[in-house]
Amino acid sequence: MSHIPVMLSEVLEHLAPRADETYLDGTFGGGGYARAILDQSGCTLWAIDRDPEAIARGAALAAAYPGRLHLIEGSFGNMLTLLNDAGVAALDGIVLDLGLSSFQIDDFSRGFSFRGDGPLDMRMSRSGVSAADLVATLPEAELADTLYQFGEERLSRRIARAIVAARSESPITTTDRLASLIRAVMPHARDGIHPATRSFQALRIRVNDELGEIERALKAATTLLAPGGRLVVVSFHSLEDRLVKRFFADASGRAPGVSRHDPRGLAAPDAAGFRLLTARAVRPLESEIVRNPRARSARLRAMQRLTPEPEVRP
């Protein structure tokens, strides 16, 4: 099992780590970004991950960079509290990789993948409600709404109906059984995508409140970044990227204006606190996709906190 960090050179280019500055890798995972950031400059790096196994694996990396890499177990959406508790009030850069790590995907006992059979779990933190719990308890309408909202699954009602019928006969507790029953009610996929892909994504997002975590993390990041500080985010599906794109547009003053008939348009707009470093999402090079097919859907966006203009005295 190995972990290949996605768009690593692009992340380093936009984060631009420098010696004697302080950075955060909010999604430590396999430690690929962390190692590269530490190797590129003599900086201090804090790293957060809600997966206790990721933190345990990171101990060896922290030992290789004594006093420079500090690991914290917790959710990146809670970064403000976690870092304040650690005595960190400001950062010079933050990177967030919103995808699963290869360790999570390839360990079938975690239940994230339908490529191998395992318990229907999907919990990043190993605690709380699992995917099996949702599949066993959600009413049919709410289950369909979950698959549609978080997986953009057009046939969500058909799948939800099949799940409810199947669970009445016996509990659905494994990834293979869920994937098989979804496959049985779905038409043949001409694009080669497994018919359970969107449903598994939807359940995983709901189990881990991933979209809520992203929203909380983006807000916290704008509080933590010092003037000149950079935020780099790599997303992997349209729901994530839309959230990041909209947030970056608002922070940089690029959000669409209100109608001229709307009274809110009379108010002076708030001054933008950030500037975009990426006019549009950066996509991986074809050569990277060949080496690492999981990079295919990756999108990188970055922005930088503006440095206040010096006060002009009369």
Do both 62 and 186 map to the same domain? Answer: no
Residue 2 lies in a domain: no
pLDDT of residue 257: 52
Do both 203 and 239 map to the same domain? Answer: no
Residue 313 lies in a domain: no
Using an 8 Å Cβ cutoff, are 231 and 40 in contact?
no
Do both 172 and 262 map to the same domain? Answer: no
The SS3 assignment for 235 reads: strand
pLDDT of residue 260: 52
Do both 202 and 121 map to the same domain? Answer: yes
Using an 8 Å Cβ cutoff, are 150 and 206 in contact?
yes
Do both 180 and 34 map to the same domain? Answer: no
Residues 221, 210: Cα–Cα separation, whole Å: 16
Please give the residue range of the domain that contains residue 147.
108-208
In sequence order, what are the residues at sequence separation of 6 or more whose Cβ sits closer than 8 angstroms to the Cβ of residue 157? 144
pLDDT band at 264 (very low <50, low <70, confident <90, very high): very low
The C-alpha torsion from 231 through 235 and 238 to 241, rounded to 10°, is: 0
Do both 239 and 281 map to the same domain? Answer: yes
Residue 310 lies in a domain: no
Q: Which of 179, 208, 237 is the last residue before a domain boundary?
A: 208
The structural domain count of the chain equals 2
CATH value at residue 180 = 1.10.150.170
**262 has pLDDT over 90:** no
CATH value at residue 39 = 3.40.50.150
Residue 24 lies in a domain: yes
Report the residue count for the chain.
314
pLDDT in tens, 23-58: 999 999 999 999 999 999 999 999 999 999 999 999
Q: Which of 175, 191, 208 is the last residue before a domain boundary?
A: 208
Do both 63 and 98 map to the same domain? Answer: yes
Residue 314 lies in a domain: no
Do both 201 and 59 map to the same domain? Answer: no
Do both 81 and 159 map to the same domain? Answer: no
Residue 140 lies in a domain: yes
Residues 295, 217: Cα–Cα separation, whole Å: 22
pLDDT band at 1 (very low <50, low <70, confident <90, very high): very low
**218 has pLDDT over 50:** yes
Do both 198 and 242 map to the same domain? Answer: no
Sheet holding 69-73, edge to edge: 69-73, 44-49, 22-25, 91-97, 225-235, 299-305, 274-276
Q: Which of 178, 208, 238 is the last residue before a domain boundary?
A: 208
Can you name the residues that pair with 69 across neighbouring β-strands? 45
Using an 8 Å Cβ cutoff, are 23 and 314 in contact?
no
